[in-house]
Structure 1
Amino acid sequence: MSAPSANSSVKTALRVIEIIEVFARAGKPLSLTELARELNAPVSSCLALVRTLSQLGYLYETAPRQGYYPTGRLQAMSQRIARNDPILDKVAPTLEALRHSSSETVVLGKLGSKDFVVYLEVLPSVHPICYVADPGAQRHLHCNSLGKALLSMHSPSERAKLLGKEPFKQFNEHTLTTFEALEQDIQRSNQQGWFQNLGESMPDVGGIAWPVSLLGGQYAISIAGPLYRIQPQLQNLAQQLRVACQSLSQRP
């Protein structure tokens, strides 16, 4: 395949994902003009994609000139995929139990692309005020509890490669922006028994995490929520988290 064709295929694939995300944000049918505006793309390009997705059964026209909306095919496919996920199937009961015992949001994460951690599963807290994220979300390693836990499973030289150049992106005055400061934080966290992000990336939001090996892969689990609920319970939540991770590591 030639370079131009490869680039074109990648752009088309990205555009399809963007269309799905646009509908998820809008929560309503969109006309071609509205879709093109949201995508910042020519109407002609959107028309070709919409026609293809409609022919494949992923979009339908709600009424003449009333716009398009996704069918249930996408949801059915995603549910089928989720049911066969080997990792989520293994950890689901433990994550549910951890959410129940902590009453906070529980997240399963893994190293993603570049210097990011990707959220594989998110079980939201029952509290009205809670940490909210979607599966597939990505966060910077250096200021995320999951990211720090995952970094701890690598050597200092490997961590340096994963993190890239200094200074790291600074979100506020609590963000660790140097490799040296992060290394000290990881060492301290290993000793105290949890990796933490207490307002380093989002004000008034805190999380603690611990690493876990699953089916030969490196993962981490976190408990996250408002700082005013997380900080007073650090020791208790960390104990629950370590027990859960240890239980998962011991399973075949």
Structure 2
Amino acid sequence: MRKNSVEVQALQRALDILEVIGNSSSPVTLKNITAMVDLPKSTVYRLLSNLESRGYVRCGNDGRYTLGLKLLMMSQRMEQGFELKHVARPYMVKLNELSKESVHLGVLNNNKVLYVDTIDSPQVIRLVAEVGSTNAVHCTALGKALLIGHSDDAIKQVLHDAGMEKRTPYTLVTPESFLAEMQIVRAQGYALDVCESNEHCCCVSAPIYNHHGDVVAAISISGPASRVSRDLMKNELAPKLKEATQAISQFLGLFPDRN
């Protein structure tokens, strides 16, 4: 019983420290943290060292503390995976009803497309992706849409780290060909996958922006190539898809003239 009490107390103290750092508008010194949590300096330093080793806080060269990347990444994933999913769902339902094809919501995670929500096509032959599964960026419309705000150098790094597996005869397998494709994607505001990931499937995707103008997710409409042609995607599906993603972006705080 004594051990559990000590563990809970240590947890409470660590959370107090995180709240002090998180509520501060600027990096905080060890002295200020110690005063705010009213604990011995040695105790605060020990807890900070543990938090820093796990990535929850970061100590700068000046000895001041800020929240670490792990907390920021967790916060971003929460925003993308939960709030964004809730906001995007009604638009995804409408796109699914309109197209009668599968609709997916994806985010960029570790240089891959991570599916965070999906609505299957009501038709027997359909394209399915499981929530929580991942896919490559270089051969998917979602991947291209998610990279639309990246610089060419940043895209090259992603491709270098993730690789460019040749999945079909139509897969782009060189950085040069992919960057040429991305010029088209940026110009039109949406991306296509014409049998690049699967020789029998096609997909169109458009990005979602946050209030900073950063791409935080993308939505795609996917189906078999026998039903979803390039002309259908460009002339009918892409305009409706862009309307939906622009509406979601504005809901997230993006001004209409930002993108």
TM-score, structure 1 length as denominator?
0.63
**Does 2:200 align with 1:201?**
no
Deviations 1:79-127 (A, max 9, x none): xx9xx921211111111111111111000001112x3111111100111
Q: Secondary structure at the match of 1:200?
A: coil
Partner amino acid, structure 2, of 1:93: P
Give CA deviations for 1:175-231 in whole Å, capped at 9, x if unaligned: 100001001111112334420111111111010101111466611110000012111
User: Which structure is larger by alpha-carbon Rg, 1 or 2?
Assistant: 2
SS of match in other structure, 1:141 = coil
Aligned twin of 1:96: 93
2:100 and 2:162 map into 1 onto residues whose CA distance is: 36
Corresponding position of 1:185: 181
Q: Distance in 2 between matches of 1:87 and 1:168?
A: 29
Whole-Å separation in 2 of the counterparts to 1:110 and 1:166:
15
The one-letter code sitting in structure 2 at the alignment partner of 1:233 is L
Structure 1 residues without counterparts, runs of 5 or longer: 1-80
Once residues 149 and 176 of structure 2 are traced to their aligned partners in structure 1, the CA distance between those partners, rounded to angstroms, is 17
Question: Partners of 1:111 and 1:166 in 2: how far apart?
Answer: 12
Contact 1:122 1:134 in 2 (8 A): yes
| Equivalent-residue separation in structure 2 for 1:247 and 1:167 (angstroms) | 33
Encode CA deviations 1:222-242: one digit per residue, 9 max, x unaligned.
Answer: 000001211141110001100
Instruction: State the 4+ residue runs in structure 1 displaced beyond 3 angstroms.
Output: 214-217
Higher mean C-alpha displacement, 140-149 vs 155-164: 155-164
Q: TM-score, with normalisation over the residues of structure 2?
A: 0.61
* Equivalent position SS for 1:128: coil
Residue 233, structure 1, aligned to residue 229, structure 2: no
Percent identity between the aligned chains?
Answer: 30
Q: Distance in 2 between matches of 1:190 and 1:128?
A: 34
